[in-house]
Structure 1
């Protein structure tokens, strides 16, 4: 009985120590001095910033309307196979198959493709 309680105390302590010692590693990834450099000249000081494109968040443009590709991808995530897209003025209809039966989903033409029916 005492061996079980000893295991219950030692295992979380080891995990906690490992987490405490590994927490400081990501903070040393890139020194701040390499990211920003200030150059002085006759005109004044110019700040050059190294954007490091590999470490920036992905840029996603803002889309105002639901496109046919967006609606087809959303319908595929909902489980609709072989999507056929019909784009109208205010709606995007996606027809396809789900669980062996024909299915249809209607999306609004606003951003994010909200489901109408």
Structure 2
């Protein structure tokens, strides 16, 4: 991130009194999908940041998203971080592909791809 630039996170919620309105839900899903398509790499793909509804997935928590380029070492959730995130190297779309692969592994096996120790370092297992 360039000095002097601001990081922002956009969150849009559906009011509880409108949960039953299909049109409102569909519009929120469309807007969320558009936002994620226009966004920079997410950099924190993990099961708790993905909500699936009506056959569509929506990414939550864009607080770590940034333009492609170097990132601070260790930025993200250890179990789902790509090697370049761990090292603080250049991040881009492939970084999110790594995180998504970790999420799919967890969904398929029920196990974390790289379990973290209490100190945030990877362990085998």
Q: Name whichever structure is richer in strand by fraction.
A: 1
Q: TM-score, normalised by structure 1?
A: 0.20
Q: TM-score, normalised by structure 2?
A: 0.19
Greater relative CO (CA pairs within 8 A, separation 6+): 2
Q: Name whichever structure is richer in helix by fraction.
A: 2
Give the greater-gyration-radius structure (CA): 1
